[in-house]
Amino acid sequence: MTAETPTSADIDLIQRIIPHRYPFLLVDKVRDIVPFKSAVGIKNVTMNEPHFQGHFPGVPIMPGVTIIEAMAQASAVMVGVSADLADKKFLVYFMAIDGAKFRRKVGPGDVLELHVEVIRGKPGGKVWKFRGRAEVEGDLACEAEFTAMMDLTG
């Protein structure tokens, strides 16, 4: 972290931090980054996403596991921005997902706000725990705590 640590990440910076690409890149922007503490990810949900072909035909609903994955990606970007990990070989692996609850359907046209915060973790540490809340227009869609291993391989 430097005095010039960004407080947001556009799609270019996101792709320089995490390796995910279409169709599994699930965050379009990360804003309000407080280094090593919290951030808000943005996912613009569109009908073009491949999971809507089968989940469910005629009633497109974003799978809950992809919402949790989007929260995890927003968390990884927050840590990556905070630790200046752009253009490094940075991978993140789920270790646990706890207390996941789904409260609202998410579908095409929704803008998913992914509010993530660090529960446990420190700069340079490998194991981090986060709390996430996914909202659409202020309505809670999903919440969970998740633990991840941050692996800087290069």
Q: Over the chain, what is the mean pLDDT?
A: 95
State the pLDDT at residue 154: 53
State the pLDDT at residue 102: 98
% of the chain surpassing 70 pLDDT: 97
- Enzyme catalytic residues: 55
Sheet holding 127-136, edge to edge: 29-34, 38-44, 111-120, 127-136, 139-152, 90-102
Q: Does residue 139 register a pLDDT over 80?
A: yes
Q: Does residue 101 register a pLDDT over 70?
A: yes
State the pLDDT at residue 153: 79
Mean pLDDT of 116-131: 96
Mean pLDDT of 1-16: 88
Distance from C-alpha of 116 to C-alpha of 4, rounded to nearest angstrom = 22
Distance from C-alpha of 85 to C-alpha of 82, rounded to nearest angstrom = 8
State the pLDDT at residue 5: 87
Residue of 111, 114, 90, 126 whose CA lies nearest to 15: 90
Q: 58-79, pLDDT tens digit by residue? A: 999 999 999 999 999 999 999 9
State the pLDDT at residue 22: 93
Q: 19-61, pLDDT tens digit by residue? A: 999 999 999 999 999 999 999 999 999 999 999 999 999 999 9
Distance from C-alpha of 122 to C-alpha of 91, rounded to nearest angstrom = 16
